[in-house]
Amino acid sequence: MKRWSSVLAVSIFFCLLIGCATHRAKRDLIVLLPDPDGKDPAITVTTKGGSQILDKPGYATEVEDLNKAPIPPRPVNENEIKKVFGPALSAQPDLVGRFLLLILYFEHDTTKLTPESKNQLPEVLRNIKNRKSNEIYVVGHTDLLGTEAYNIELSSRRANYVRDLLVSSGIKPSILFVSFYGKARPLVPTKNEVPEPRNRRVEVIVR
Amino acid sequence: MVSEMKRACSKIVLLFLGAFFLLLFTGGEVSPADASVPIAIIKKVSGSATIVRQGHNISATKGLEIWEKDTLCTGRNGSVGIVFNDDTFLSLGPGTVLVIDEFVFAPKQGKFSIVIRMLKGTAAYLSGLISKLSPESAHFKTPTASIGIRGTKFVAKVEGD
């Protein structure tokens, strides 16, 4: 798990704002932090005036007015994160006992695991069995290449392929919940018809 | 012995009637979800923190259950951290007011929703299974903005009045 303190501290943006405190308008501040699940995080902040995507940890946007769009992302100094959000962050519950998120990747247009995922498979199965879970979600996805209908079917085949792998490794079918979303939920957003290996995946979520 | 039982029974009946009338008169909105089902648990508390539920103030303590529609408040030096049924982590810094508008986690029926509304203060949010299984169903709102969440961790500060 990446600690939030490993966010790289860049410019002293905050001090500039606080320096003008008397003239500063009230602003809502939203800062994206590193995702402890280690995957690519992203949030979208939307006002009546527009939207801003935050997809780089350590970056923030601010909203001054509900009719104005959020400002473009800016890096935030680690000390300022601590100062403003220290108490909130230290009240965060422990990660121990939190669900496990594992991802298996597939070759283009197939239900064939990539060589890397094939190599990781024994350890993945071991991790899953060690948790002795009674709730495992298996979610299939594709990249944005191809039609919606075709990819719904492909993602379904991928999800069921992984489900079968889990069952044959000794996991009870009754604790497995299979779902699939075709090209609707890319991990890495791309334009339509763009191939992206990181989107060709099945996510296994183990409670 | 029998009269004691009779008295105990009438106490129970009174309580039930009282609760019935309370529900009848205090229910303004009819929410589809059962608002009296626990949806989260308090894991950490420090300083002064309160849950406001149907007009009543409940002191926030570790292990206390949170219900849909609850308002979470922290005092000047208070903080509180909770875990939802889908493993979403939410924690509040001091001087914070936040409402849990919606929480539904029913994977077998494919029903997912988490809507949190922050009125003021600071909060840290780590998304759980609802964001992983149904990202479009997770929303964090401030008075000015709505934050759509795709499986991640963020902090938000709202300057209240």
Q: How far is A118 from chain B (nearest CA, A)?
A: 23
| pLDDT at residue A190, rounded to an integer | 84
Residue A16 has pLDDT above 60, yes or no: no
Is residue A84 in some structural domain?
yes
Residues A78 and A104 in one domain: no
> Which residues of chain A make contact with B76, given a CB cutoff of 8 A?
none
Is residue A93 in some structural domain?
no
Taking the C-alpha atoms of residue B85 and residue A79, their distance in angstroms, rounded to an integer, is 32
Is residue A186 in some structural domain?
yes
Q: How far is B7 from chain A (nearest CA, A)?
A: 45
Q: Is A178 left (phi over 0), alpha (psi -120 to 50) or beta?
A: beta
Residues B130 and B69 in one domain: yes
For residues A194 and B6, the model is more confident at A194
Is residue A168 in some structural domain?
yes
The CATH number for A163's domain is 3.30.1330.60
| pLDDT at residue A14, rounded to an integer | 32
Taking the C-alpha atoms of residue B144 and residue B161, their distance in angstroms, rounded to an integer, is 14
Reduced to 3 DSSP states, what percent helix, strand and coil does chain B have, rounded to the nearest 5?
A: 20, 45, 30
ipTM of model over 0.90: no
Is residue B130 a contact partner of residue B112, using CB atoms and an 8 Å limit? Answer: yes
Q: What is the dihedral of CA A100, A103, A104, A105, to 10 degrees?
A: 180
Taking the C-alpha atoms of residue B39 and residue B113, their distance in angstroms, rounded to an integer, is 12
| pLDDT at residue A17, rounded to an integer | 33
Is residue A171 in some structural domain?
yes
pLDDT tens, B110-122? 899 999 999 999 9
Q: With an 8 Å Cβ cutoff, are A89 and B96 in contact?
A: no
Of B155, B102, B111, the C-alpha closest to B129 is B111
Is residue A95 in some structural domain?
no
**Where would I find the beta strands (DSSP E) of chain A?**
28-33, 42-47, 50-54, 59-63, 74-75, 100-105, 136-140, 176-180, 201-206
- Reported as a pLDDT band with limits 50, 70 and 90, residue A96 is confident
Residues A15 and A75 in one domain: yes
Residues B125 and B146 in one domain: yes
Q: With an 8 Å Cβ cutoff, are B128 and A101 in contact?
A: no
Cβ within 8 Å of residue A32, ≥6 positions away: A41, A42, A43, A54, A55, A56, A57, A58, A59, A60, B152, B153, B154
Residues B13 and B65 in one domain: no
Q: Which of residues 84-123 of B touch A (CB under 8 A)?
A: 87, 89, 91-94, 96, 107-108, 110, 122-123
Both ends of chain B: CA-CA distance in Å? 59
For residues A39 and A148, the model is more confident at A148
Residues A38 and A108 in one domain: no
Q: Which of A27, A90, A185 minimises the CB distance to B159?
A: A27
> Which residues of chain A make contact with B150, given a CB cutoff of 8 A?
41-44
Of A49, A3, A11, A56, the C-alpha closest to A30 is A56
Residues A105 and A202 in one domain: yes
| pLDDT at residue B151, rounded to an integer | 62
The CATH number for B75's domain is 2.60.120
Residues B103 and B45 in one domain: yes
The owner of tokens 């922050």 is: B118
Is residue A170 in some structural domain?
yes
| pLDDT at residue B91, rounded to an integer | 97
Residues B24 and B63 in one domain: no
pLDDT tens, A20-62? 344 456 789 999 998 877 676 788 999 999 999 998 999 999 9
Cβ within 8 Å of residue A50, ≥6 positions away: A68, A69, A70
Question: What is the span of the domain harbouring residue B2?
Answer: 1-30
Average pLDDT of the segment spanning A82-107: 93
Please identify every stretch of chain B with a pLDDT value under 50, giving residue numbers as ranges: 8-11, 13-14, 17-19, 23-32
Q: How many domains is chain A built from?
A: 2
Q: Which of A63, A94, A205 minimises the CB distance to B145?
A: A63
Residues B67 and B20 in one domain: no
Residues A111 and A44 in one domain: no
Residues A111 and A167 in one domain: yes
Q: Which of B93, B142, B149 minimises the CB distance to A88?
A: B93
B128 touches chain A (CB under 8 A): yes
Is residue A40 a contact partner of residue A56, using CB atoms and an 8 Å limit? Answer: no
Residues B84 and B101 in one domain: yes
Residues B24 and B65 in one domain: no
Q: How many domains is chain B built from?
A: 2
| pLDDT at residue B123, rounded to an integer | 97
| % of residues, chain A, pLDDT over 70 | 86
Residues A76 and A126 in one domain: no
Question: What is the span of the domain harbouring residue A115?
Answer: 100-206
| pLDDT at residue B65, rounded to an integer | 97
Residues B52 and B6 in one domain: no
Residues B81 and B19 in one domain: no
The tokens describing A141, both together, are 């996805």
Q: With an 8 Å Cβ cutoff, are B150 and A45 in contact?
A: no
